[in-house]
Homo-oligomer: A and B are copies of this chain.
């Protein structure tokens, strides 16, 4: 028996587009004489469809696509993820299902039992969990259908669920396991995925075909990396990262045991490619082409400019250099050099005239006050205004260049440097931004070395550097990582050796700045805990602040 797995880039709600991609892939699978082609979880709707699932019209459209796909299941079986209606009045109205299509019709529909409801996942918001499990009989084989999280309760010290669907399915002695996934990228995910698959294969002794999505949906990035695992727990094959791909496998070969076909999983390599995918699909799926950003001469905007140029092409990226009286010469020079290296359009607009206008307009109201954060913010907001004006006039979407460290502690100006349609690196800590810049320069100096080596500064008042207001980034990022990704509280952080006062100060900064993060553009997610939909903290919460 030959099994084809199709790792595709779906688009949420684009029923016709998703269908056409799957029909093409089905034809390609047929051309390899495959008996079955397998697509991802909720492939018909794209993942995550979120509250679109609450619209009956949306479900109808999805069911129509499943019906049309079923018609194409001639001389091949198709396994595809889509919602199905729960016929029982009690419980949620939908299941998250795997459809088995063959002989031109829907043969069997199995439902997901383990509904991830944590981080970015909200599945119990929409779906009723499966309560019964049946293998599919096809061409003399028994196939266990599972959907994504269904296999993730294994290989895990603190399982989130009280059951494992494969415990039920193994009683029916399946020949192999299919897993339809939509499993989002983070820089550790490819390793975790293999660990979980191994744990399942070791426990159940059956080969597994794990099919993931590829591409990005707003902030969520799918890396692909679909896996075929032999019963000996070896990776028989791993599909490429960040690329659509279809491959066909002869079951007997997979049963014979694994060829170790894993790819390299270097953190910066993965983050780099993930962010490019994120930008490319945000623009592509919204029907946009052109980006704009402010280039300060600092490292954050430099890294975002490189990513944008690599994602969208030099001809689709333009930058503004917007010096003030506080900007150093080297900043403008570094920014200009970078723009030249990237071969992107740059324009220089001095912000002084607008700054003076605001000074005059506010003077009668600001009597007897001193230069403070207000005037710093005015500079940042003039820059936001200029970028947004170019955006409104020419259709270039503004890329936000805030990094995760500053987003965490609120070191940024709302409607100023925090403006933009997409937050490209707000899930990348400052120390990681440096590493990413060095990674980008590995073959040639794209980002001027001075940008990487000089001390970070916002340049909003004379001789300002970040170190005046913030702890050393090495220490800051270490605390932030423990607090944000690892949910370690003050007690645990102090036990880890961090200074008590510093811990209290940093946690307070993080918690007091929820209101700012509530107003930023979607953050491309590359870690296991990004700001945005996957991290939900009350703004008025009086905790550690």
Chain B minimum-CB-distance residue to A282:
B540
A161–B377 contact, CB under 8 A? no
A381 CA / B419 CA spacing, docked (Å): 12
Compute how far the CA of A21 lies from the CA of B80 in the bound complex, rounded to whole angstroms.
Answer: 54
* A52: chain B residues within 8 A (beta carbon): 537-538, 541, 543
Q: Chain A, 261-296, contact with B by CB distance < 8 Å: what is the 0/1 string?
A: 000000000000000000001100110000000000
Does A51 interact with chain B (Cβ within 8 Å)?
yes
A49→B541 CA distance, assembly (Å): 8
Instruction: Tell me if A89 and B377 are in contact (CB < 8 A).
Output: no
- Please state if A421 and B385 are interface contacts (CB–CB under 8 Å): no
Interface status of A445 (Cβ within 8 A of chain B): no
- CB of B122 within 8 A of CB of A50, answer no
By the criterion CB–CB under 8 Å, are A218 and B540 in contact? yes
Question: Is A323 positioned at the interface, with any CB of B under 8 Å from its CB?
Answer: no
- Is A37 at the interface (CB under 8 A from chain B)? no
Which stretch in A178-186, A327-335, A388-396, A404-412 binds the other chain? A388-396
Which residues of chain B come closer than 8 Å to A372, judged between CB atoms? 392-393
Interface check A13, CB cutoff 8 A: yes
Residues of chain A from 505 to 545 with CB closer than 8 A to chain B in the complex: 515, 518-522, 533, 535-544
A19-48 interface bits toward B, Cβ cutoff 8 Å, 1 = contact, 0 = none: 000000000000000000000000000101
Q: Which of A95-136 contact B (CB under 8 A)?
A: 115, 117-118, 122, 124-125
Within A174-207, the residues touching B (CB, 8 Å) are none
- Please determine whether B538 and A217 come into contact, CB atoms closer than 8 angstroms: yes
Closest residue of chain B to A51 (Cβ to Cβ) is: B536
* Residues in chain B near residue A13, CB distance under 8 A: 538, 541-544
Q: Please name all residues of chain B whose beta carbon is closer than 8 Å to the beta carbon of A158 when the two chains form the complex.
A: 89, 93
Q: Give residues of chain A (454-493) contacting chain B, Cβ–Cβ below 8 Å.
A: 487, 489-492
Contacts of A51 in B (CB 8 A): 535-537
B538 and A536 contacting across the interface, CB-CB below 8 Å: no
B519-A520 in contact (CB<8A): yes
**A356 contacts B by Cβ under 8 Å:** yes
Collect the chain B residues with CB atoms within 8 Å of residue A282's CB: 540
CB pair B377 A388 closer than 8 Å: yes
Separation of A365 and B391 alpha carbons in the complex (Å): 12
Least CB distance from A291 to B in Å reads: 14
Return the contact of A489 from the options B55, B347, B519 (Cβ within 8 A). Answer: B55
Chain A interface residue bracket vs B: 35 or more
Complex partner residue of A377 from B350, B381, B392, CB under 8 angstroms: B392
Tell whether A138 is near chain B: CB-to-CB under 8 Å.
no
Taking the closest CB of chain B, its distance from the CB of A47, in whole angstroms, is 9
Query: In this assembly, does A91 line the interface, its C-beta being within 8 Å of a C-beta of chain B?
Result: yes
Which residues of chain B have C-beta atoms less than 8 A from A2's C-beta?
none
A347 to B363, CA, bound (A): 12
A171 in the interface, Cβ–Cβ < 8 Å?
A: no
Q: Is the CB of A360 within 8 A of B366?
A: no
A55-B489, A365-B390, A389-B358 known; A217-B540 Cβ under 8 A = yes
Asked if A449 lies at the interface with its beta carbon under 8 angstroms from chain B, I say: no
* Cβ distance A65 to chain B, nearest Cβ, rounded Å: 13
**Which residue on chain B has the smallest CB distance to residue A384?**
B415
Decide if A361 is an interface residue (CB 8 Å cutoff).
Answer: yes
| B361 and A354 form a contact (CB under 8 A) | yes
Report if A357 contacts B (CB, 8 A).
Answer: yes
- Chain B residues with CB under 8 Å of A117's CB are 117, 122, 124-125
A435 to B55, CA, bound (A): 30
Give CA–CA (A353, B362) in the complex, Å. 11
Residues of B within 8 A of A389 (CB): 358, 362, 374, 377-378
A12 CB within 8 Å of chain B: yes
**Closest B-chain residue to A515, C-beta based?**
B421
Contact of A92 with B by CB under 8 A: yes
| Bound-state Cα–Cα, A347 to B218, Å | 41
Q: Is A252 an interface residue (CB 8 A)?
A: no
CA distance A35 to B355 in the complex (A): 67
Question: A354, A365, A491 — which one has the most chain B CB atoms within 10 A of its CB?
Answer: A354
Confirm or deny: A443 has a beta carbon within 8 angstroms of a beta carbon on chain B.
no
27 inter-chain pairs at a CB distance below 8 angstroms, sorted by A residue, are A12-B540, A12-B541, A14-B542, A17-B542, A50-B541, A52-B537, A52-B541, A55-B487, A56-B489, A58-B543, A88-B162, A91-B162, A122-B125, A218-B538, A281-B540, A282-B540, A347-B365, A351-B361, A353-B361, A358-B385, A362-B386, A377-B389, A384-B415, A421-B515, A515-B521, A519-B521, A522-B539
Additional pairs, 20, CB under 8 Å, beyond known A374-B393, A385-B385: A46-B541, A50-B536, A50-B537, A58-B489, A91-B161, A117-B124, A124-B124, A286-B540, A349-B362, A354-B357, A362-B390, A366-B393, A369-B393, A372-B392, A372-B393, A385-B415, A415-B415, A515-B521, A518-B521, A519-B521
